[in-house]
Amino acid sequence: MKRLTGKGFFLFLLTAIVLSLAPVAPSAARAAAYGAIAGTVTDSSGAPAAGVEVAALDSTGSTWGIGRSGADGRYDLSILPAGAYRLRFSPPAARGVQQWAPGKRRAAEATAHTVHGGGTTVVDERLLPMAELVVHLQTADGQPYVDAQFLAKDEFSEFELGRSGNDGVVRARVYAGTYTARFLEPGTGRVQYVPGSRTEAGAQPFSVAPDSVTELTERRIGAGSLRVTARDRDTGAAVPDFCASADGGRDECSNGGGVVLLTGVIAGSVGVSVRGAAGAPYGYADTTATVVAGATVDIDVPLPGVGTVTTVVRAADTGVPLRGACVALLEKGSFSSYRENFAHCSDNSGAVTIPQREAGDYIMFVKGVGDYGAQIVGTSGGTGDERQARVVTVAGGQVTVVPDVRLDVAGAIVGTVTDEAGAPVANGKVSLTPWHSGGDNQSGFTVRADADGRYTMSGLGPYAWPLLFSFGAKPHQWSGGTGDRYAAEAVAVTSGGSATYDYVMRDGATVTGTSSIYGWVVATNATTGDYTGLAWVYDGVYTMRVIGPQVIRVEGGDPVAVPASGTVVVDLP
């Protein structure tokens, strides 16, 4: 064999490296599992549209391919796993503007295009008519308003068009249609609706015609000042040390002078927030004021006092102080919106101190520790029923001492959750307290059923507890098959024992109706205030499942009786 040296060896090595970097042809099996989507994008007149972003999304909303159309309007999304895809088209230089094939503004209306392994699916798309929107933003004295965030809203969505430049101008491409708009003041986030309104109710729609230039001029509403003083809500005495803000702006503090001057507040009705300064025995208060451009308006705000609550947590059977027993102090009547995080816990002596609580009536909920179970503090011992709780009254500037809390030895509730067909409800939630769909309550009193529908709720004091069951699309329902916590079947717990409670989840009734609300519609039980149903508004209509029979309020409206099954129509404004 001839030995390679010098130049020959170098050429051999270079060839080897090149070959090692060469792409490997895909196997026939791999090629058969992938396909492509290709086509041409044209503008509303039929001419090729260049620079349009094209994305392929599967049924879960995951993006599998992104490309852009060329000068000839053609695009090609290759190496897509075989399956069905919706196509989203985003024109260039058009923030927030997108459409879905074929010519739809809503993703839910898009066609699912099937990609076959080894093949190319052709999807041509014509862009909906567009126009240019030019907005001139001005200060109150007519100068360019710089760096303001401008947003437009149509029947489909709200999206940012951009920020005003040094000339106060925002330029954007949008779909032809009807819009309302608002802009946000830089630095404060204060909002003004077009034309010249502090509230969305004052926003007036404007139309943008196809293939045209629409110009708007919006002048910032004039500003004024608020001179804020505060007084004790109970005694009427002046509060020297407090802080205030208007319309969500920056806090300004009195620094002991008893007055806060808020300047540069946009004229009109504004929200004002006032709070006691750090260390001052006062809480929070919100109010509204009418600001007059070029003037100073005086407002006087009553502030609630804050006090301190203390108690000692002991073992009921031995009297020994318990360390690490955490206490939630809940405003009386607020159990339906229970969100306490148990931030205050007992020390080595069993003592718990809860500072800076607004004057008013409260109840105490204690999370168990070690062998001792949770309880709502009652008038004589623990309870599992909020209505039997001891009332703790907090007075401003004072310390309220609650008699020693005695925790009993804990027990548990175990059981199985099934649906009406007898199948186990895997991963279903079982809760001790009400919770909203925004997330579990923060008490730790929520457990999940296992794959066989079995659950264990431990660490409970030996009292009768209502349980809340929830899973997926099924409605929230309390033990005994009701939406009313006060009417629920309470499960009795014994110290050191396990009570068994099996539950069959029902589908309940349907509550539906029309709504002008853009977003979530919430239903609550009319008696307890507990969240009981939730739905998103689609095309002006909402539909939710609600357990019945119970009486509910939809978005705080009039009481409505919901039967065990069937449909109830509740139209909203």
Residues present in the chain in total: 573
- Select, from the ranges 231-240, 244-253, 435-444, the one with the highest average predicted confidence (pLDDT): 231-240
The fold of the 32-126 domain, in CATH, is: Immunoglobulin-like (2.60.40)
For residue 135, what are the CA distances in angstroms to 35, 148, 167, 184?
Answer: 44, 11, 11, 14
Instruction: List the Cα angle 528/455/471 in 5-degree steps.
Output: 55
Architecture of domain 411-505: Sandwich (2.60)
Q: What's the CA gap between 344 and 326, in Å, rounded?
A: 6
Instruction: List the Cα angle 307/311/316 in 5-degree steps.
Output: 160
Token reading at 505: 């989840």
Q: Is pLDDT at 13 greater than 70 in this prediction? A: no
Architecture of domain 130-219: Sandwich (2.60)
Phi, psi values for residue 486, rounded to 5°: -70, -20
Q: pLDDT category, 473, cuts 50, 70, 90?
A: confident
Q: pLDDT category, 25, cuts 50, 70, 90?
A: very low
What is the dotted CATH code of the domain comprising 224-303?
2.60.40.1120
Q: Is pLDDT at 18 greater than 80 in this prediction? A: no
Q: pLDDT category, 15, cuts 50, 70, 90?
A: very low
Q: What's the CA gap between 76 and 71, in Å, rounded?
A: 13
The pLDDT assigned to 461 comes to: 97
pLDDT tens by residue, 306-344: 999 999 999 999 999 999 999 999 988 888 766 667 889
CA-based nearest residue to 200, from 566, 558, 516: 516
Q: pLDDT category, 92, cuts 50, 70, 90?
A: confident
Mean pLDDT of 403-420: 97
**181 versus 519: which is more confidently predicted?**
181
> In DSSP terms, which residues pair with 553 in a beta bridge?
524
Query: Would you list the domain boundaries of the chain?
Result: 32-126, 130-219, 224-303, 306-407, 411-505, 509-569
Domain 306-407: which CATH number of 2.60.40.10, 1.10.3860.10, 3.40.50.1700, 3.40.640.10? 2.60.40.10
The pLDDT assigned to 22 comes to: 39
Q: Where are the beta strands (DSSP E) in 316-359?
A: 326-331, 344-345, 351-358
Q: Where are the beta strands (DSSP E) in 304-385?
A: 306-315, 326-331, 344-345, 351-358, 360-367, 375-377, 382-383
The pLDDT assigned to 31 comes to: 53
Mean pLDDT of 266-285: 91
Asked if the domains at 32-126 and 130-219 fall in one CATH topology, the answer is yes
Burial class of residue 75 (count of CB atoms within 10 Å of its CB; 0-12, 13-18, 19+): buried
> In DSSP terms, which residues pair with 470 in a beta bridge?
429
Query: Does residue 439 contact residue 348 with C-beta atoms inside 8 Å?
Result: no
